[in-house]
Amino acid sequence: MLTFTEEITLLMLDDDGLFLPIRGGAVEHILIGAVLMDLAFANRVDTDPEQLVVIDATPTDNPLLDGALERIANSGESLDTKGWVELLAREQAAAIRQKVMDNLVERGIIEVKDERFLWVFQSRRYPTIDGRVERGVKLRMEDVLLSDDMPDPRDIALVCLVDACDILGDLFSEREMERVRPRIEQLRKMDLIGREVGAVIADIEESITMAMAQVAH
């Protein structure tokens, strides 16, 4: 099973394997938010109105997550979710992003293509090799948003994160967005995730939204 961090990265890639034009440093904040969501669902972190805390410092055995877990657990700092999102975005986002891409390449989901002009490196793309994985993530979101069935808590969390990233419009048509917006608001009110994880996700959404707003100005 892919982590939230890997799933959100796949959703941020367009059909050509390029990252969607998400404003400024918001990509880094999104990646860290996804890592914290993974840690919350692994029962490693919790939050209260004043700080995000480690409730279990046992490594998850996933290098993608354990660097952030160790940083928070050993810091001795008292920061809220927004503070940790901003700090880890500066310190670890670049390495996490590279690790995610390496993981997806190793699994045969994407490949690396360097575009060159006159032998000069121009850009790097990550086109999909196995499109079933990415389609599977998108289909799960469609199933959650376009039906009235009771969703899985992880799928609710993924929808909330993708909505905070403002990329749902890249995944659904304008007409579909009009249809699913009430469903998104309904999902936000569902008490299926659990108080602790739900609070972390709400804080992450707010942190990402604020980061994107600051870049926009």
Cα 62 to chain centroid, rounded? 16
Sketch the domain layout of the chain as residue ranges: 4-216
* pLDDT tens digits, one per residue of 152-204: 888 888 888 888 777 888 888 888 888 888 988 888 777 555 555 666 777 77
pLDDT in the model for residue 120 = 66
Average pLDDT over residues 67-71: 96
* pLDDT tens digits, one per residue of 107-121: 999 999 887 766 666
Q: Are strands 113-117 and 120-125 parallel, antiparallel or unpaired?
A: antiparallel
pLDDT higher than 60, residue 24: no
52 and 84 in contact (C-beta within 8 Å)? yes
CA gyration radius, the chain: 17
State the Cα–Cα distance between residues 116 and 114, nearest whole angstrom.
6
pTM: 0.85
Which CATH class, in words, describes the domain spanning 4-216? mainly alpha
| Site of tokens 């100005």 | 217
126 by DSSP, 3-state: which?
coil
pLDDT in the model for residue 150 = 83
**Residue among 185, 123, 120 at smallest CA distance from 112:** 123
Where residue 48 falls among pLDDT bands split at 50, 70, 90? confident
